[in-house]
Amino acid sequence: MVKSYLRYEARSVFGVIASPTGNAVFDHSGKLSITAALESVIVWDIKKGTQVARWSDSDNKAEVTRIARSPNGKDYAVGYADGSIRLFDLTNNTVNVVLSGHRGRVSALEFDSTGTVLASGARDTDIILWDVVGEVGLYRLRGHKDEITGIAFVAGSAAIGTASALHASSAGYIVSSSKDTLVKLWDLRGRHCVQTLVTHRSEVWGLAVSPDGRLLVTGTSDMNLHVWTLDMAKLDSVASNDGKGETSANDWEAIAEYGSIQRSSRDRVVELRFHPSGLYLACLSADKQVEVFRSRQHAEIKKKMARRQKRHREKRGKDKVDGSDHDGSDHEDEAETPTITAADELTSFKVVRTSAKPVSLDFSPTEADATALGRQSGMHILVAQNNNSLHMWSVPVPPPGMTTKQANLGEPSLASSVEMLGHRSEPRALAMSSDNELIASAANKSLRVWNAQTGSCVRTLECGTAICAAFLPGDQYIVVGTKEGNLELYDIPAATLVETFDAHEGTACWTIDVRPDRKGLVSGGADKCVKFWDFELVRDDPSGTVSRRRMTLEHVKTLKMSDDVLAVKCSPDSRLLAVALLDTTVKVFYADTLKFFLSLYGHKLPVVSLDISSDSTLLVTGSADKSVKLWGLDFGDCHRSILAHQEPVTAVRFVWGTHYFFSAGKDKLVQQWNGDNFQRIQRLEGCHGDVWALAVAKHGNFIVASSQDRSIRIWEKTEEPLFIEEERERELEEMYDRGLEESLDRPEPAADGAEEGDETQRAGKATMETLKAGERIMEALDIADEERRKWAAFEDQKRRMPQLNPAPPDSNPILQFERITAEAYVLRTVERVRAADLEDALLVLPFTHVLSLMTYVDHWACREWNTALTCRVLFFMLKTHQNQIVATRSMRAQLASIRTHLRAGVRAQRDHVGYNLAALQSLRADWEANATAEFFDEKDIQGILDAQLKKRKFTGLKA
């Protein structure tokens, strides 16, 4: 009989606030933060420090790398490390659209002003424009040679202030920056690059365009920010000619150098962002600071120019008196007309000092009004840091009409933060309470206790550099071993440090294990000693009348070893003590007399973790040589050596009452093994970093793992049966699918009629989903063709031999179940394909199936079924298989029929849409007429009345 197991499924992930691979943005209200958290997105209430929602997709395992906010205030684009993009809705926290087109991690995302077009850039050096409403990719722009670092939409001069969603994908421009040191300006109407900036000498790490579209700022690794002016009117005038007249290269240069401004930081730029009001520019650097620049007003620039001219005249006058200037009259005109540079317009304003390296920044979108911003206490900056924290800073700004000196502003202050729900560094130790209700995680300078069911943080304590931890009997105390060689005893209910013991003379305490008799513990460290401790209850104040008894540790004996002790474990029957040493051996002693019993050798590198089964018969060791070995404790024989991981093993744990055990390694995997037949049962994925610690519930109901990505993950045992043969087949299928995706993921050759270096290409990408969708379409075509053939044969037989009265053929069971015709079944199959995957799914079809599909397209056009989808399928097939279709004479009549029927359907759709647009415009005009109220200034009205009274002059008549 085939042995079955129970499957473990991922239950929860906690401990992550903000992952260093992604960014964080404000929501439209400025109260919530949309933050990247490994493969999920967490919505935080910044002031309360609580989690509002968590966005995740069960089909996704890749990390979030970029988040962008849509202007409509509810949609958010999330880019992932595998190149996919998902659109989430803030109102219902669900995935609306999945877009696949990139072949590398998404590094830049930006919505246009209407929110209907999304531009994305990735490590594959491509820029893709997506139609958010149609859920399809429009086209791919190629020209960069390295990873895209920034994208910004720039509206044309005629479109500023009159943005429309009807022509958003074919109007305006895009500015992009890349690590190839280039900045490119793309024309969306012609879909080509119109200008390239080649003056940067190092990677361009970020760019920002001012809200009015006048300034472009780029940041590199040097200490200066490069500022450029944008003149879209020049491009619009050239583009409006449509090739009429001659144009030179200078006519297309809409980006002109404006100057540079110096930064206070010496490290590279991480991100650049303009304030929504356009008055401030924030520069995020890699050296723990955010520098804010202020844009001077026109009056300030004029005063500065006047002072500069005055100083210049005074200097020239002094030079004339000294006789040093002989030809100053030649340059007098030049001195009178100085030019304004970027340093005159942008000046350093404030510097925000962060506690760790920042990852991203964002301004609150509610501060777009400069007057409202001046009335507030300051502008708010959201900064995500690489130490798993999220901070919101308040930067004071001068009120309207006042300068910075007149306002006497203070320094930036920390308004609120989210940092209590996660470790600042990676947790290196895990411990679980005896009732499996609490989980303790220890990291550098922090010890946190979590509720295993809800994932909420119960206690937060400060500790040393923790390496190991364990709950003491009663689950009220935790002992932590530190790198400094101390044992720190903590009281969980009181959240206090009870006592500190110098256990290993200043060297690292690598391991702690509570003895099975629950009367003490064993510790091992780098001082080559294994120390035994007993639990004692003492009174805080023996002289007092009322004193509370507390737990303490008493050192009772020491076992000297020949090398550093890395791991210790007492057997559950209290008979043996296993000690792993730095010399790659494991020594086994009798626990009562500490006499030597066994020496286990065979590992090539030191054993870093070991565990003993509940029946005290098996010992499992995990080593840095990537192997796991099973030993018998009766004679010390090695039962099996298993190459368990691709990287060093970090932890091994038995499941109580069984010979099943779990192993964790630096290859980001947790695996379950059967210690009797030495087979791998299941592989648990999900961690995005090295797995450092592992804890297993009493009877294996769930397991907990802590990773280098600062996450704590729980896998729970389910009732779903698992068979090893089926699991191996599933793993082989996944491996085959990955290989197939890699083969499909190669850059496609240039299309017919396009050159090899064409800047515009198709935006799609072949994936397993598109391949499966194409197979479903082919299957539907085969079923429909067979159904049509059977009915055609029936009609022919009925026409030739009507006297036989033949019985109608049996329909396909699928069509009978759906209760639809063959043509409708094919249409429904095509409709079920995601809009973004339709073109790649149609590429899978061989030409014989294309001819079959054209027959159904003619039927859909005749019946006016889903005219939009019919047109899209038809046009893509005509463009892709143009040569074969032209060479097929039998399709001429069919194409003529499609043209006739489709034109009628499109004309009806156009009339329908035009009627609806006219009705909506009429309703809008009526609403504006009824809802708009006119306001008059009382002073202006009084001035008009006074003017009328002055005109009426009464003069007396004299006789």
Q: Which helix (H) or strand (E) holds 317?
A: helix 298-322
N-term to C-term CA, the chain: 137
Q: With a cut of 50, which residues of the chain have pLDDT below it?
A: 162, 243, 329-335, 750-756, 957, 959
Closest C-alpha among 101, 100, 76 to residue 87: 76
The pLDDT value given to residue 750: 47
How far, in Å, CA of 290 to CA of 270, rounded?
Answer: 10
* 3-state class percentages of the chain: helix first, strand second, coil last, to nearest 5: 25, 40, 35
Which residues, at least 6 apart from 456, have a Cβ–Cβ distance to it below 8 Å? Answer: 14, 450
Cβ(619)–Cβ(578) below 8 Å: yes
Cβ(52)–Cβ(43) below 8 Å: yes
Cβ(663)–Cβ(649) below 8 Å: yes
Closest C-alpha among 233, 175, 180, 234 to residue 209: 175
Sign of the four-CA dihedral 702, 705, 711, 712: positive
How far, in Å, CA of 893 to CA of 899, rounded?
Answer: 10
Sign of the four-CA dihedral 6, 9, 15, 21: positive
How far, in Å, CA of 512 to CA of 533, rounded?
Answer: 11
Cβ(765)–Cβ(841) below 8 Å: no
The pLDDT value given to residue 585: 94
Q: Is 465 left (phi over 0), alpha (psi -120 to 50) or beta?
A: beta
Characterize the bridge pairing of strands 94-100 and 84-89. Answer: antiparallel
Closest C-alpha among 73, 60, 57, 83 to residue 25: 73
The pLDDT value given to residue 241: 58
Tokens of 390: 């999220």
